[in-house]
Structure 1
């Protein structure tokens, strides 16, 4: 790997400050990708079927709230019938499952070949709804398809910019991702300010009970059971909600038993480039986020990452699944940072675990009663689990930032300004509400703003003209 690192540094002109574009410097010695016992990389290890199932289910339960919430949001905003809602819920779970399989297997350079989970992005759902409200559903579906194609058009240009994403930029991005996701989980616990039931003490109790159970299981159990602490904590939190009378279970109709997604459920798509522009702009933001997520998951599984080789694979997987999703009525289906903390917390690095997750998601999508059963898990319990998992993503970001000399004048300013640009829209919703819609969409995405700001300042300080100083490595 030393030869690759040397060539990457030579190619990018990077000094110790930005350590090549995070090409090959990811891992500590204890996370090297080859097992001394069998010569198989941990990410390629095939576990027993029973272990694959429980570990895969753990990933699914942590992320299941996202597809359910996204479909219900669309249904409420656009007035879908119950039959169309169930159909789209089925399509969303199946697309997430197929996307997870694609990212886990990574055939022919499409997919990362790492344990990724794919989800419908929150921002794309909002944009899909806005496009549908301003035009119609056919145009919104066409916008998703145009955006899927735009990924492939933009990717070659984006790939050339990856040299400006050193560890300082990636670490900043992961820290902002963590803070943003913790905020989202917090809102699952409390509800939105001003709504009935906001900050209900019972919900807060359930969230902290879930966290406590997870910690106790992690401390008291050993072996595989310790690795399942997140799943066990979620189950214990759900049982606590049942005991407290906060688990509102309704009879689940067994018919229809099977729900098969409809091809082009809104009719033949209409293609309007101007209407699709917000989603296309978001695809740029998504590519930036995919860069950090690829580096982070590589960090978690002990795989050396070459950004110029591996990041495009992740993005191509996003593009393909967004195209498929558009044909079945979903918005963009993209890689998620939500399961990275699960991988790091459990230490289970095999991509075959998320292969199982993908299969479970497909089954959930096809079997309507199972999908409805998932919706009964209290949001406060999911939020409590999410807080732990997403905080671990932040710890990974901090660990990556430690590899940069933050006593260096330029690095200090890059990180400080990037955090300002990223944290302000996260902490102050509506900060850019008076700006034009397309501009507001970019500025309001704290993760994207922090990453773009860090990359731009990195270029200003270390790539534009003569470098003003030679930083020293921090050991």
Structure 2
């Protein structure tokens, strides 16, 4: 390794890049295909259309990841951030789709992507409101908010199922978690860095012998699946739908800004205003592109931050390799079907380790914050931010009477926790600093 090259810009051998990149894809695959599954089911699309949506989603996610990591044409943060469809847009898209169909969804997605692209330089000026007390709180909230996802996977994926949380399921997820710990403890170098990948592969093999894995989808999947622009028709631009989606995009921009700052702190390349502008601009362009390629708004996937923390592989070119793999998965459905065979309990065991590491990184950042002294409000900021971020996770029904944009904001622990940290810091620290200067 050349010591003059920052770890983010390090170019690894092709074989290592592929395996590390594949590890990232396995970690995010379930989340990547969840949104098209939910939306297609809610608005009554056929199985054929659902498969097409998944292929388009993976293909476009790959392009979005390449843009974010490589940074062409003044777009992309050039940080190791993998891109996927945001969950924040699910409810509004279902509402729009039921009322006006898929073409209205894509019209709103394209318009919101243009808005995000144009608004990026203005939104990035919020970086001054992200000192370590805010950054540490946001990273910790991201990790804690992702843990319920890992727990659901560990229990079998569907809490409503009769066998959810059964002893064999929990034993399988625990076995995978132990594999991650053992590999991480006793392996060195390259093998240590692919501990999650090895645990997922071994876990899947063991799961297949225990009857947890169904490989029939591989045989049924097509070999080639081409993604054609505007497959479902010309987008329609409905003003109310566009307004709703722009409100969602403002929430997404807040989360993306937090993700960029978080990954910048973890890899040792702090994100400045320019980096955030480029990162948001990449999200905006990818979202706009997604509308043309029959998919949905894109954002950074926070779960992969945990993988970077666990493996300490910080190269953006590794994540760019993930983008290439995602493009291939979108073009060759059989490859995607193979990855889809990884059972939820196997993902859960690895997810507990990865997401827990994200929270631990946030705690590490918070450990460097000053809490003592007169008129020091940092402890209050951290405490209330974490509490607000965990509200919807602890008792999801607490915000059941909130509708529209308020529902989107308050049902996302990451969003409400991040906004709380930003606002409290602005009121208690920033405003006090300005007053003292005067």
Q: TM-score range by the shorter chain?
A: over 0.9
Question: Displacement of 1:182 after TM fit?
Answer: 0.8
Q: Matches of residues 16-27 of structure 1 in structure 2 within 5 Å?
A: none
Alpha-carbon distance between aligned partners in 2 of 1:465 and 1:254, rounded to the nearest angstrom: 63
Q: Report the counterpart of residue 17 of structure 1 in structure 2.
A: none
User: How high is the TM-score relative to the length of structure 2?
Assistant: 0.94
Question: Displacement of 1:181 after TM fit?
Answer: 0.8
Aligned equivalent of 1:146, options 102, 111, 136: 111
- Asked whether 1:113 is paired with 2:78, we answer yes
Alpha-carbon distance between aligned partners in 1 of 2:41 and 2:221, rounded to the nearest angstrom: 23
Aligned equivalent of 1:401, options 359, 366, 369: 366
Question: Displacement of 1:467 after TM fit?
Answer: 6.6
Alpha-carbon distance between aligned partners in 2 of 1:91 and 1:391, rounded to the nearest angstrom: 31
Question: Displacement of 1:138 after TM fit?
Answer: 1.3
Alpha-carbon distance between aligned partners in 2 of 1:91 and 1:67, rounded to the nearest angstrom: 11
Aligned equivalent of 1:262, options 210, 228, 231: 228
Q: Give the conservation status (yes or no) of the 8 Å contact 1:143–1:271.
A: yes
Question: Displacement of 1:127 after TM fit?
Answer: 2.5
Q: Give the conservation status (yes or no) of the 8 Å contact 2:88–2:252.
A: no
Instruction: Give the secondary structure class of the aligned counterpart of 1:463.
Output: helix
Aligned equivalent of 2:180, options 208, 214, 218: 214
Q: Give the conservation status (yes or no) of the 8 Å contact 1:141–1:326.
A: yes
Q: Report the counterpart of residue 259 of structure 2 in structure 1.
A: 293
User: How high is the TM-score relative to the length of structure 1?
Assistant: 0.87
- Asked whether 1:430 is paired with 2:403, we answer no
Alpha-carbon distance between aligned partners in 2 of 1:215 and 1:464, rounded to the nearest angstrom: 45
Aligned equivalent of 1:132, options 80, 94, 97: 97
Question: Displacement of 1:405 after TM fit?
Answer: 1.3
Question: Displacement of 1:262 after TM fit?
Answer: 2.6
Aligned equivalent of 2:429, options 450, 455, 462: 462
Question: Displacement of 1:277 after TM fit?
Answer: 2.8
Alpha-carbon distance between aligned partners in 1 of 2:31 and 2:377, rounded to the nearest angstrom: 38
Alpha-carbon distance between aligned partners in 1 of 2:240 and 2:40, rounded to the nearest angstrom: 24
**Any idea what the Cα deviations from partners look like across 1:60-97, whole Å, max 9, x if unmatched?**
11111112222222222222222222221111111111
Q: Residue 66 and residue 147 in structure 1: after superposition, are their counterparts in 2 closer, same or farther (change >3 A)?
A: same
Aligned equivalent of 1:443, options 410, 418, 429: 410
Q: Report the counterpart of residue 70 of structure 1 in structure 2.
A: 35
Alpha-carbon distance between aligned partners in 2 of 1:345 and 1:328, rounded to the nearest angstrom: 34
Question: Displacement of 1:288 after TM fit?
Answer: 1.7
Q: Which runs of 5+ in 2 are unaligned?
A: none
Question: Displacement of 1:192 after TM fit?
Answer: 4.3
Q: Matches of residues 71-470 of structure 1 in structure 2 within 5 Å?
A: 71-190=36-155, 191-250=157-216, 252-253=218-219, 256-306=222-272, 308-408=273-373, 409-464=376-431
Alpha-carbon distance between aligned partners in 1 of 2:207 and 2:409, rounded to the nearest angstrom: 38
Alpha-carbon distance between aligned partners in 2 of 1:305 and 1:279, rounded to the nearest angstrom: 27
Q: Give the conservation status (yes or no) of the 8 Å contact 1:88–1:261.
A: no
Alpha-carbon distance between aligned partners in 1 of 2:436 and 2:174, rounded to the nearest angstrom: 48
Question: Displacement of 1:251 after TM fit?
Answer: 5.7
Alpha-carbon distance between aligned partners in 1 of 2:327 and 2:295, rounded to the nearest angstrom: 15
Q: Report the counterpart of residue 8 of structure 1 in structure 2.
A: none
Q: Give the conservation status (yes or no) of the 8 Å contact 1:59–1:354.
A: yes
Question: Displacement of 1:235 after TM fit?
Answer: 0.9
**Any idea what the Cα deviations from partners look like across 1:187-231, whole Å, max 9, x if unmatched?**
122244444322222221111111011111112222211111010
Size of the alignment, in residue pairs?
A: 434
**Any idea what the Cα deviations from partners look like across 1:288-342, whole Å, max 9, x if unmatched?**
2222211222233222432x11111111111111111111221111111121111
Instruction: Give the secondary structure class of the aligned counterpart of 1:70.
Output: helix
Question: Which structure shows the bigger proportion of residues in helix conformation?
Answer: 2
Alpha-carbon distance between aligned partners in 1 of 2:269 and 2:431, rounded to the nearest angstrom: 31
Alpha-carbon distance between aligned partners in 2 of 1:423 and 1:141, rounded to the nearest angstrom: 32
> Which stretch shows the higher mean deviation, 50-59 or 437-446?
437-446
Alpha-carbon distance between aligned partners in 2 of 1:343 and 1:67, rounded to the nearest angstrom: 18
Q: Residue 59 and residue 200 in structure 1: after superposition, are their counterparts in 2 closer, same or farther (change >3 A)?
A: same
Question: Displacement of 1:255 after TM fit?
Answer: 6.3
Alpha-carbon distance between aligned partners in 2 of 1:453 and 1:362, rounded to the nearest angstrom: 37
Q: Give the conservation status (yes or no) of the 8 Å contact 2:118–2:281.
A: no
**Any idea what the Cα deviations from partners look like across 1:126-171, whole Å, max 9, x if unmatched?**
3312221133211111111111012134323322332112111111
Q: Give the conservation status (yes or no) of the 8 Å contact 2:28–2:301.
A: no
Q: Give the conservation status (yes or no) of the 8 Å contact 2:145–2:389.
A: no
